[in-house]
Amino acid sequence: MRIQTENDTIAAIATALSPSGIGIVRISGPEAVNVASRVFCAGAAQRTDVSAYESHTVHYGRIADPENGRIIDEVMLLVMRAPRTYTREDTVEIDCHGGVLVTKRVLEAVLHAGARLAEPGEFTKRAYLNGRIDLSQAEAVAGIISAKNDLALRNSVRQLGGRERAEITEIRGELLREIAQIEATLDDPEHLSFDGFDTTMRKNTESQSARICRLLATADDGRRIKEGIRTVIVGRPNAGKSSLLNALLQEDRAIVTEIAGTTRDTLTEEVNLRGITLLLVDTAGIRESTDVVEALGVARAKEAAASADLILYVADSSAPIDPADRLILASCKGKPMIPLLNKSDLPPAVSAAEIGALVDESMGEGQYACESKRGDVDGHREANTATDPIMISAKTGEGIEALEERITEMFFAERLRADEECLITSERHKQELIAARDSLARVQESIDAGMSEDFYTIDLTAAYEALGRILGEEPDEDVINAIFAEFCLGK
């Protein structure tokens, strides 16, 4: 079941509003061709009947204001007939010169000719409502537009191609067969029997639950790919945290001085690193302080560390280990961490072995390494052995490449090669998968409790519907409107 689409004709600028070589005004709906006829002039004609043009053809001409006939721009007009269009409606695109003013004037002429201004995402919403794509594919369109890195882009392209839909559809098909078998047996007990059905039902629900769990196991990686790895830089004052931030960004974003405690608050920046995105958070140096402002900065640093996907612990190789180092490590316990021994360009006062031993002592040997993606079976991963601290110089750039390699290996070594896997990047999809998994768990509880088979259909149906909401097969108009409201105009 789908909610009904509106039957009016919409238009919007489909390209960015900035000076460029070309601007595109898109028109879609039952009156798209007639609207175009009111503004398009081919040759010397004052108006051209666009309805005479064949589908999927391009025509040179001019756009004129329908109210006064004044020529606005020379254009190329693309005519595309339903259903072979993005929206499955008649669609006309006007390619004009890419100035901001002229593109706006062309849109105004189209609106005066009878179209209305499209809402954000309304073209894609119509593609969904008209059955061209499902809801997960519509969300993939937004993902392609907003992709911050190569992995996010590739995953959204796979989702748009139907990878997630195919997996979800297969699981729903298996659940529907189980529901149908129960209903048929209840309706015709003389010819059909439930003998051995509990065993078969348990096996089948366990199999589908395992498939759902495999999808859920990708959700954390999917979130990191889509949003970025929240990477918090911690260390004691003047260890070189802000210098490291600047080195990774390759620009002087954070203020760096020789005065300890220069950074008093968190500073967040985004960087694309070898095809993945890091959300870098520079923090105040963590130490005991009686200064009210510095103490607030330290508290925020600890809060940032608590929500991090990755900790970059910066130690100063030119200074001995300090009680503040233990305080820092205590605040990061249980988090994936890479220890960094900074200022390798200065005479050393502490070794990498000493820092490694300190980390092991404070956090437990092997506990500061991220889970490996290698040897991943059904979501169960073997932990890496503890990694040695990396010697770096944020000032000269020494060791930065090794740090980049370590981050890539920790999080996405396998993802960079495995292009076929479907990753869950949407929190909405994750919650519906959890709901489906929990419903199947209740089916198994009903089997164990010896309940009659008609009870199974309640939770089987709940799981089927939860998966359907991912695809938009069980529509919730408020959810659908909220999804498309996040789209850009013209798409």
Mean pLDDT of all residues in 152-162: 84
User: What's the rounded Cα separation, in Å, for the pair 337 and 406?
Assistant: 11
* Residue spans in the chain of domains classed CATH 3.30.1360.120: 10-134
> In 29-162, where do the E strands start and end?
40-41, 57-64, 71-80, 91-98, 116-117
* Model confidence pLDDT, tens digit, residues 164-215: 899 999 999 999 998 888 888 777 777 766 677 778 888 999 999 999 999 9
Give Cα separations from 411 to 28, 320, 333, 385, 415 (angstroms). 43, 31, 19, 15, 8
Q: Please give the Cα distance from 145 to 328 (Å, whole number).
A: 39
What is the pLDDT confidence band of residue 36, given thresholds at 50, 70 and 90? very high
More confident residue, 371 or 84: 84
How big is the chain by its Cα radius of gyration, in Å? 29
Q: What is the mean pLDDT of the chain?
A: 82
Domain 10-134 belongs to what topology?
Gyrase A; domain 2 (3.30.1360)
Other C-beta atoms lying within 10 Å of the C-beta of residue 400 = 18
Q: What is the pLDDT of residue 261?
A: 45
Looking at the predicted structure, is the pLDDT value of residue 378 above 60?
A: no
What CATH architecture is 145-218+424-471?
Answer: Up-down Bundle (1.20)
Share of the chain above pLDDT 70, in %: 84
State the average pLDDT over residues 402-412: 82
C-alpha distances (whole Å) from 216 to each of 101, 123, 224, 420, 428 are 47, 30, 14, 16, 12
Residues of the chain with CATH 3.40.50.300: 226-412
Write phi, then psi, for 6 (nearest 5 degrees).
Answer: -70, 155
Query: Given a cut of 50, is residue 363 above it in pLDDT?
Result: yes
Q: Are 6 and 123 in contact (CB under 8 A)?
A: no
Contacts of 61 (CB under 8 A, 6+ apart): 40, 41, 42, 43, 48, 74, 75, 77
Residue 221: the pLDDT is 79
Give residue 265's pLDDT. Answer: 52
**Angle (CA) 456 454 213, round 5°:** 10
Q: Is the pLDDT of residue 485 over 70?
A: yes
Residue 295's CB: how many other CB atoms inside 10 A?
15
Pseudo-torsion of CA 52, 58, 61, 67, nearest 10°? 60
Predicted TM-score (pTM) of the model is 0.73
Please tell me the predicted confidence (pLDDT) of residue 241: 83
- Express each pLDDT in 267-324 by its tens digit: 788 888 777 788 888 876 665 555 555 557 667 777 777 888 888 888 888 888 888 8
The CATH number that domain 226-412 falls under is 3.40.50.300
* Average pLDDT of the residues in 379-389: 48
Residues 429-454 have a mean pLDDT of: 90
- pLDDT band for position 362 (50/70/90)? confident
Q: Is the pLDDT of residue 351 over 50?
A: yes
pLDDT band for position 256 (50/70/90)? very low
Q: Residue 71 burial by CB count (10 A; 0-12/13-18/19+): exposed, middle or buried?
A: exposed
Q: Grade residue 432 by pLDDT with cuts at 50, 70 and 90.
A: very high
pLDDT given for residue 316 in this prediction: 87
Q: Rounded to an integer, what distance in angstroms lies between the CA atom of residue 490 and that of residue 482?
A: 17
Half-sphere exposure of 6 (CA within 13 A, CB side): 12
Residue range(s) in the chain whose domain bears CATH number 1.20.120.430: 145-218+424-471
